[in-house]
Amino acid sequence: MIRLLICSVVFVCGCATTTENLNNEGIALANQQKYQQALQKFLEAYRQKPDRFENCLNVAQMYVMLKDPQQAIVYIDKALELNAQVLDIHILKMQVLLLQGKKAQALEILDSVAEKNHNNPRLYALLLSMGDNALSQKKWEESRQWYQKAIDLSPEESKAYIALSRALIFKGSHAQNSYENFATSSEVRDSDFNKAKAALRKAVYLDKDSVDAHLMLGMIAMQTQNYQDAQLEFAEVLRIDSNHLIALTAASFNQSQMGNISKSMEYLQSAQQLYPDRAEPLWLKANLLIQQQSFSEAVATYITIWTKFPNLRDSIVQNFRMNFSHYFPWLVKLITDSNQQIADFSFDMLKEVSRQNFARDVAKWQMWYKEKGQHESQKN
């Protein structure tokens, strides 16, 4: 549901004592989410003072909360007849029309009020909210349209440029709308990186200390293998906020892509020290250790994740399943490791992913993999 910009605290009381009491009672009930009871109070106040647009607006809002947009529109139109100069009434009507799926009519209202309300923060917030709502539903093109309208309304505000770049980057991508997934996604399809970068550069021009803008620029540079540029952007984020977890892990991953494993580990250590209760640094550390062929240490790190973050156990299994052909050669050797924990975990992963059990017989595991395992891993 679209979040209303007009909340219960702005309900306006009538002039007459009885009307004032009714409105106060309605406000109290609305704040307790007793919308049906609040509606009755506001309707009575409206009947006493039908010439006050505030009373119409109170009734309309209750109908919205009760999911009766048709009745809400009736009272919104009454409010507009009484005072068409109040922006909040137009905003509420836009929201209700959107709830009804009447986007064209909502946009007509937007165009008419935007001309008289340039740089209005309430209207700007609504447009950003609409864009965010569309983006969360993966309606990429619609989200871009809302963000562009926000830019047109307030071209000197940076937030909409950043939001627009996010909509461009994630358009058509399998990655979810998050920095973490974009940072490590191997493929971002149908994205317009040039337009996204232009929007982000504008955001940085408007606000040189915009963490989000620098971070997104870094992600784009890393995704397009411009690792030096990416590192400069991540450095800017860390200049602004030295404890930024995503920037630390992204900088670590970026350094690993450049082959600077020791520097990558430095960023990871900082992230781990600052955020001992977060899984991201540990997960990346495990991957880096595998890249360094430090397999027993990598498994030890996975054991830590498995123990500290039970909600990620399925993800660990899925990771081993997806990379089984790469992991098998070293994983099978670790089932006889001198460290019992590492040996047991490696054995459990082998059994879970392969659905086989050759005990700790390395030769049998290798024979199975040579004959059938490679084909089975491809199916997985």
Q: Which domain CATH number covers 67?
A: 1.25.40.10
Give 240's Cβ-side CA count (13 Å radius): 18
pLDDT score recorded for residue 106: 87
The encoded tokens of residue 261 equal 């494993």
* Domain membership flag for residue 285: no
The encoded tokens of residue 40 equal 């009755």
* Domain membership flag for residue 261: no
* Domain membership flag for residue 250: no
* Domain membership flag for residue 313: yes
* Domain membership flag for residue 331: yes
Q: Could you list the pLDDT tens digit for every one of the 380 residues in the chain?
A: 334 333 333 444 444 458 888 988 999 999 999 999 999 999 999 999 999 999 999 999 999 999 999 999 999 999 999 999 888 899 899 889 988 889 889 888 888 888 788 888 889 998 999 899 889 888 888 899 999 999 999 999 999 999 999 888 876 554 444 554 554 444 454 467 889 999 999 999 999 999 999 999 999 999 889 999 999 999 999 999 999 999 999 999 999 999 998 999 999 999 999 999 999 999 999 999 998 999 999 999 999 999 999 999 999 999 999 999 999 999 999 999 999 999 999 999 999 999 999 999 999 999 999 887 666 555 55
pLDDT score recorded for residue 344: 97
If one counts the domains in the chain, the total is 2
* Domain membership flag for residue 125: no
Q: Which of 191, 250, 190, 188 is closest to 215 using CA atoms? A: 250
- Please state the φ and ψ torsions of residue 232, each to the nearest 5 degrees: -65, -40
What domain range is 308 assigned to? 293-380
Amino acid (1-letter code) at residue 14: G
Q: Choose one of 71, 96, 115: the last residue of a domain.
A: 115
Q: In this structure, are residues 14 and 54 in contact, taking their beta carbons and an 8 Å threshold? A: yes
Does the pTM surpass 0.95? The reply is no
Q: Choose one of 59, 80, 115: the last residue of a domain.
A: 115
* Domain membership flag for residue 249: no
In the block, tokens 């905003």 appear at: 91
pLDDT score recorded for residue 6: 36
Can you give the length of the chain in residues? Answer: 380
**Helix H or strand E encompassing 195:** helix 193-206
